[in-house]
Amino acid sequence: MGELTRRAILLAGGATLGGLAGAKLTSKVPSVAGTKSLQPAGLANTLNDASGLNETPIFRHITLQENPGENLIRRIRFEIDEARREGRPVNVGAARHSMGGHAIPRDGQAITYDNGFVDLNTRDNVFRAHAGARWSDVIRALDPLGFGPKVMQSNNDFGVAATFCVNAHGWPAPHGPMGSTVKSIVMVRPDGEIVRCSRTENAPLFFLTMGGYGLTGAIVEITVEAAANVNLVPTYQKMPSRDFAKFFIGAIERGDVNMAYGRLNVDRETFFEDALMITYREGDDQTEIPPASGSGAMSKIARHVFRAQLMNETAKDLRWWFETDLGPMISGGPVTRNSLINEPVVTLDDRDPTRTDILHEYFVPPGRFAAFIDACQEIIPASYQQMMNITLRYVGADNESLLSYAPAPRIACVMLFSQEMTERAEIDHARMTRALIDRVDDLGGTYYLPYRPHASAAQFRRAYPKAAEFAAEKRDYDPDLLFRNGFWDTYLKDL
Ligand X SMILES: Cc1cc2nc3c(=O)[nH]c(=O)nc-3n(C[C@H](O)[C@H](O)[C@H](O)COP(=O)(O)OP(=O)(O)OC[C@H]3O[C@@H](n4cnc5c(N)ncnc54)[C@H](O)[C@@H]3O)c2cc1C
Is the Cβ of residue 9 or residue 165 nearer to ligand X in the bound state? 165
Residue 72 found at the interface with ligand X (CB under 6 A): no
12/299 Cα distance (integer angstroms): 8
Is the Cβ of residue 218 or residue 278 nearer to ligand X in the bound state? 218
Is the Cβ of residue 365 or residue 486 nearer to ligand X in the bound state? 486
CB-based contacts of 57, cutoff 8 Å, min separation 6: 44, 45, 46, 106, 107
Residue 172 found at the interface with ligand X (CB under 6 A): no
Residue 211 found at the interface with ligand X (CB under 6 A): no
Q: What is the nearest approach in angstroms of ligand X to the Cβ of residue 327?
A: 20
Give the CA distances from residue 393 to residues 2, 289, 363, 460, in Å, rounded to whole numbers and listed in that order: 26, 26, 9, 23
Q: What is the nearest approach in angstroms of ligand X to the Cβ of residue 123?
A: 26
- Considering only residues 284 to 303 of the shown chain, the ones binding ligand X according to CB under 6 A are none
Could you count the other beta carbons within 10 Å of the beta carbon of residue 367?
Answer: 13
Residue 169 found at the interface with ligand X (CB under 6 A): yes
Site string for ligand X, 92-121 (x = CB under 6 A): xxxxxxx---xx---------x--------
Site string for ligand X, 436-455 (x = CB under 6 A): --------------x-----
Residue 128 found at the interface with ligand X (CB under 6 A): no
Is the Cβ of residue 227 or residue 289 nearer to ligand X in the bound state? 227
Residue 485 found at the interface with ligand X (CB under 6 A): yes
Q: What is the nearest approach in angstroms of ligand X to the Cβ of residue 240?
A: 25
Backbone angles phi and psi of 56, in degrees to 5: -130, 135
Residue 131 found at the interface with ligand X (CB under 6 A): yes
Q: What is the nearest approach in angstroms of ligand X to the Cβ of residue 98?
A: 3
Is the Cβ of residue 61 or residue 289 nearer to ligand X in the bound state? 61
In three-state form (DSSP H/G/I as H, E/B as E, the rest C), the secondary structure along the chain is CCHHHHHHHHHHCCCCCCHHHHHHHHHCCCCCCCCCCCCCCCCCEEECCCCCCCCEEECEEEEECCCCCHHHHHHHHHHHHHHHHHCCCEEEECCCCCCCCCCCCCCCEEEEECCCCEEEECCCCEEEEECCCEHHHHHHHHHHHCEEECCCCCCCCCEHHHHHHHCCCCCECCCCCHHHHEEEEEEECCCCCEEEEECCCCHHHHHHHCCCCCCCCEEEEEEEEEEECCEEEEEEEEEEHHHHHHHHHHHHHHCCEEEEEEEECCCCCCCCCEEEEEEEEECCCCCCCCCCCCCCCHHHHHHHHHHCCCCCHHHHHHHHHHHHHHHHHHCCCCEEHHHHHCCCHHHHCCCCCCEEEEEEEEEECHHHHHHHHHHHHHHCCCCCCEEEEEEEEEECCCCCCCCCCCCCCEEEEEEEEEEECCHHHHHHHHHHHHHHHHHHHHCCCEECCCCCCCCCHHHHHHHCCCHHHHHHHHHHHCCCCCECCHHHHHHHCCC
Select the span of 162-170, 276-284, 293-301, 459-467 touching ligand X (CB under 6 A).
162-170
Q: What is the nearest approach in angstroms of ligand X to the Cβ of residue 74?
A: 16
- Of 47, 53, 64, 161, which one interacts with ligand X (CB under 6 A)? 161
- Considering only residues 212 to 251 of the shown chain, the ones binding ligand X according to CB under 6 A are 213-214, 218-219
190/483 Cα distance (integer angstroms): 7
Q: What is the nearest approach in angstroms of ligand X to the Cβ of residue 348?
A: 9
CB-based contacts of 351, cutoff 8 Å, min separation 6: 23, 27
Q: What is the nearest approach in angstroms of ligand X to the Cβ of residue 293?
A: 19
Q: What is the nearest approach in angstroms of ligand X to the Cβ of residue 210?
A: 11
Q: What is the nearest approach in angstroms of ligand X to the Cβ of residue 425?
A: 18
Is the Cβ of residue 168 or residue 227 nearer to ligand X in the bound state? 168
Select the span of 70-78, 151-159, 246-254, 439-447 touching ligand X (CB under 6 A).
151-159
Is the Cβ of residue 160 or residue 289 nearer to ligand X in the bound state? 160
81/79 Cα distance (integer angstroms): 6
Select the span of 168-176, 200-208, 250-258, 424-432 touching ligand X (CB under 6 A).
168-176
Rg (CA), the chain: 21
**Count of residues that bind ligand X according to CB under 6 A:** 41
- Considering only residues 41 to 70 of the shown chain, the ones binding ligand X according to CB under 6 A are 50
Residue 166 found at the interface with ligand X (CB under 6 A): yes
Residue 135 found at the interface with ligand X (CB under 6 A): no
Is the Cβ of residue 215 or residue 375 nearer to ligand X in the bound state? 215
Q: What is the nearest approach in angstroms of ligand X to the Cβ of residue 1?
A: 26
Site string for ligand X, 418-437 (x = CB under 6 A): --------------------
- Of 13, 14, 18, 176, which one interacts with ligand X (CB under 6 A)? 18
Binding site for ligand X (CB under 6 A): 17-22, 50, 91-98, 102-103, 113, 131-132, 153-155, 158-159, 161-163, 165-166, 168-170, 213-214, 218-219, 345, 359, 450, 485
